[in-house]
Structure 1
């Protein structure tokens, strides 16, 4: 399948999976001191896995809740990015699906089910936003807008509080706790950069495709960090995070 065909399958699968959330009776369990999983996470990921591997026989899934495998075509799935927001009724969460072919990410889809906004891109398919709600064209600001979850509770890294303090001197900062949606907003020009530590491949796979397709940069940092965006703030953030994880 072409990247465009993989994107079409990912998009339709995300849209169908979002319908499950309207009927979900949500229960919550702990995944550790600072993380949670809901019954909706498990139900949505089960659906995504079935639909994607049926659409591309022989493909494999790397997912947050139900394990990981790899194949020539591999899907990266986050059924609900922002679970801690979702279970509290805070409308900051999304469904994220990306496709990789022979290890190279080629398509990404992020769906915000609360605002019915769909962010998509693929190799050969331009970045696009489909929204049925109010959309305001991003304006200019004298300071860059940065999305980050730093400092993370229970983080193994020192220096995160100092980084946040320094960042607030040079940028407007928002902490949203939903990495895939943060990257989609960067791609759409709503923020200038996003940066996080403690991430997993399914957190950033789709978003990295979107950012690069929209003309931005995406840089892995260390084993579990990234910086993405446009402008000088990207280089500044990258050097700061590299100093923390080294």
Structure 2
């Protein structure tokens, strides 16, 4: 594969997300269970198959780590979540997104998150500043006396103890929203709409694009253990990280 820059990879990822969103208008959605609590829809599978095809065609020799159709790695590896927030999507709740990130030799270099319901595209790459393209109403985030935190802790069936205690303590010091879309949460943190996000029980395709967005927007993204993260700005990040580490360690 020829040399590609983070900007090249971002351009391919972003256009692929936009094209994939067009499929959602015509897909008949069938839903089945995936594990005890998760769901997968026919839309997840069709969108991921489309993204795999266009990404690997656009970057020959690259490989894909995807939620629904398996994983492989290469010098350039794509991380694909075709519909992050499937449980919202299948109920018609407009809180889900398409998420694509690119890594070169194991380092994340580009990411995009597309919210098809609000027609918002969040993009960033190494050397390419964070940006939001939106055709809807965009409000400049204001300042709140309490930090706003996006988290789905605790998730149903979690094997960890201490999550309810964390949520209770968090509610005493912060405004909390549960939206059940990790990638969208991270995009909103990058855009300054929330101060922090934290989740347990996540996978690389959930967080890869959002991690790039947050870091390139000037925030922190901290992986904790093998399946948790905290991201954001300010003192709330340290507060959350200490408690999430205590739960998953």
Where 1:5 maps in the other structure, the secondary structure is helix
- Name 2:26's counterpart in structure 1: 23
CA distance in 2 between partners of 1:157 and 1:221 (Å): 14
Select which of 44, 49, 53 maps to 1:46. Answer: 49
Moved over 4 A (4+): none
Which residue does 1:84 correspond to in 2?
A: 87
| Structure 2 match to 1:187 | 190
Distance 1:53 1:156 in 2: 36
Distance in 1, Cα, partners of 2:248 & 2:16? 36
Q: Report whether the alignment pairs 1:205 with 2:193.
A: no
Match of 1:152 in 2: 155
* Match status 1:9 vs 2:38: no
Which residue is equivalent to 1:74? 77
Give 1:140 deviation, angstroms: 0.3
Normalising by structure 2, we get a TM-score of 0.98
Correspondence list, 1:228-239, <5 A: 228-239=231-242
Supply the distance in 2 between the matched residues of 1:167 and 1:46 (Cα, whole angstroms).
Answer: 39
Write the distance in 1 (CA, Å) between the matches of 2:128 and 2:227. Answer: 28
1:32 offset after TM fit, Å?
1.4
**For structure 2, which runs of at least 5 residues remain unmatched after alignment?**
none
Give the equivalent residue in structure 1 for 2:248. 245
Q: Distance in 2 between matches of 1:131 and 1:225?
A: 30
Q: CA deviation at 1:98?
A: 0.2
Q: Report how far residue 223 of structure 1 moved.
A: 1.4
Q: CA deviation at 1:26?
A: 0.2
Instruction: Tell me how far 1:243 sits from its aligned partner.
Output: 0.7
Query: What do you get for the CA RMSD once the two structures are aligned?
Result: 0.4
**Match for residue 103 of structure 1 among 97, 101, 106:** 106
Aligned match of 2:37: 34
The superposition leaves residues 119-172 of structure 1 with CA deviations (integer Å, 9 ceiling, x where unpaired) of 000011000000000100000000000000001100010000000000000100
Whole-angstrom CA distance in 2 between matches of 1:28 and 1:179: 20
TM-score by length of 1: 1.00
Distance 2:198 2:96 in 1: 17
Gaps of 5+ in 1: none
